[in-house]
Amino acid sequence: MRMMAKNDKRRNTGTILIGFAVLMFGMDAMSGAVEGLRDNETFTNLLTMFSNPIMGILIGFVFTAVIQSSSASVGVLQALSLSCIIPYSTAIPVILGQNIGTTVTPIISAISGNTDSKRVAITCLYIKMIGVIVVVGIFYALNSFIGFDFMMKSVGALDIAIIHTLFNIISTVILIPFCNVIEKLAIKTIRGKNEKEETDAFAMLDDRFLAMPSFAVGKCKELVCDMANLAREALKKATELLENYNDEKFEEVNMLETSIDKYEDKTSTYLVRITKNQMSSKDSKVVTELLHCIGDIERISDHALNIAEAAKEIYDKKVEFSNKAKEDIAIISRATQEILDLAIDALINDDIEIAKTVEPLEQVIDRLKRKIKNGHISRLRQGDCTMELGFILSDLLTNYERISDHCSNIAVCFIEMANDEFEVHEYLSGIKSGEEEFDEMYKAYKQKYYIE
């Protein structure tokens, strides 16, 4: 199934079955390897020493910390129980120590991380340590008063699994009411340089996630969605500058464009690195979609900055459009903002129906550009506008049209990825050749953004 199946679900099922087979084979191999210890007097004396709760916890902690896997160390203990006589009095402390030892893995992983990752690691340690202290205190206190008869009985592999599970359930239930206390303890233990420091947006592009392509692709999708929202904000601020210019807002647009450039560089590089690993067909399609969309989103931010620069030019030169030109610019601005909203919403929400509404509006924006240019030529002949304003207007219209083109690219790419039968050029030629649904949406947008 793993090698021959073409369906991802069947391949995953095969992988799961192989995993269980290897697990059972490993348990059997470990059990056979330690079978000779049954009659070893030295090992028997060693097990007796582990019956001391402190020593048992310490041994369980050290062994698990060395191999960095509580499941593996529990498996070894279960293999020993199948071949040797291990009493509950020995198994329980070792299991508790194994639970503390498993926190070494996140601690090592967080060494090179930021403040929050270190706090997560130390929180894992506190949860396990506090859980062990509470459970040991309660359990051995009851044992000293009541005296549990099963303590000297032989423990089985299933019993070890049950003890391990019960400990985690009981400690979780006990500690749930004290989450805030543990949080404050972790913050006091790991102090940041600035408690209000911003989280690095690209921290999720960790090399360790490359071994898990599906998870890594999901994180990249989140970043691309954040990038798209920044582009939406950049266009909104740039359009506002045309109505009311100020240097502070212009700098905000400039900073947004710079930030989007960083998103484009880091995310696309990481996506290319993901493709070097084996991925499912679904993840492969998502990576292709994201790589296509990233370039379009980055170009949208460039055009938003161009619009802001046009607004700055108007302000610096102290020129002003006619009232009719202002009305026309406002209409095409609203239409462009809407088409960007539609494209981004379709991308974020994976909504193919929203994506289908983009192309009709793109055609309307192309029409608006032509009509506004023709109107400017008429006003120029009448002396109501100047050549200088004509150049600025032409730049504005070109940027609005290019933004709508990139929105169309995003929507068409999404539709193509959602349905393998679609090809970009075939899709565009098909919907423009008289489809009833397309015509209805085109007429609705044409009426909504009507110019005399």
d(CA 354, CA 186): 45
pLDDT confidence of residue 115: 81
Query: Residue 10 to residues 15, 214, 420: CA-CA distances in angstroms?
Result: 9, 17, 21
Residue showing tokens 């639970």: 99
- Return the pLDDT at 325: 85
Residue 44, pLDDT score: 61
Q: Give the model confidence (pLDDT) of 94-123 as tens digits.
A: 899 989 998 988 888 888 777 888 899 999
SS3 content of the chain, % helix, strand, coil (to 5): 80, 0, 20
Query: Domains in the chain, please, with CATH?
Result: 34-189 (no CATH), 207-448 (1.20.58.220)
Cross-strand pairs, 154: 87
How many Cα neighbours within 13 Å face the side chain of 16?
6
For residue 171, what are the contacts with CB-CB under 8 A and spacing of at least 6?
127, 128, 130, 131, 132, 134, 135
**Which burial class, exposed, middle or buried, applies to 111 when counting CB atoms under 10 A from its CB (0-12, 13-18, 19+)?**
exposed
The alpha-carbon radius of gyration of the chain (Å, integer) is 32
Which of the 8 DSSP states describes residue 397? H
Q: Which of 8, 208, 211 has the alpha carbon at shortest distance from 109?
A: 208
Q: Kindly tell me the burial class for residue 376, based on how many C-beta atoms sit within 10 Å of its own C-beta (0-12, 13-18, 19 or more).
A: buried
Place of tokens 């059997």: 28
Find the helix packing angle between 281-317 and 387-418, rounded to 10°. 170
Place of tokens 């006003």: 379
What pLDDT is attached to residue 195? 44
How far is 34 from 80, CA to CA, in rounded Å?
Answer: 6
pLDDT for position 46: 66
How many other CB atoms are found less than 10 A from the CB of residue 333?
20
Give the ranges where 275-386 is alpha helix by DSSP (H): 281-317, 323-349, 352-355, 358-382
Cα distances (angstroms) measured from residue 390 to each of 51, 78, 375, 396: 90, 82, 11, 10
Q: Which of 451, 239, 226 is nearest to 339 (CA)?
A: 239
Distance CA 264, CA 107 (A): 32
User: What residues of the chain score a pLDDT lower than 70?
Assistant: 31, 34-35, 37-41, 43-51, 193-200, 383-384, 418-435
| pLDDT in the model for residue 196 | 45
User: How far from the centroid of its chain's Cα atoms is residue 311's Cα?
Assistant: 36
Q: How far, in Å, CA of 172 to CA of 168, rounded?
A: 6
Q: Tell me which amino acid residue 122 is.
A: I
CB 373 within 8 A of CB 265: no
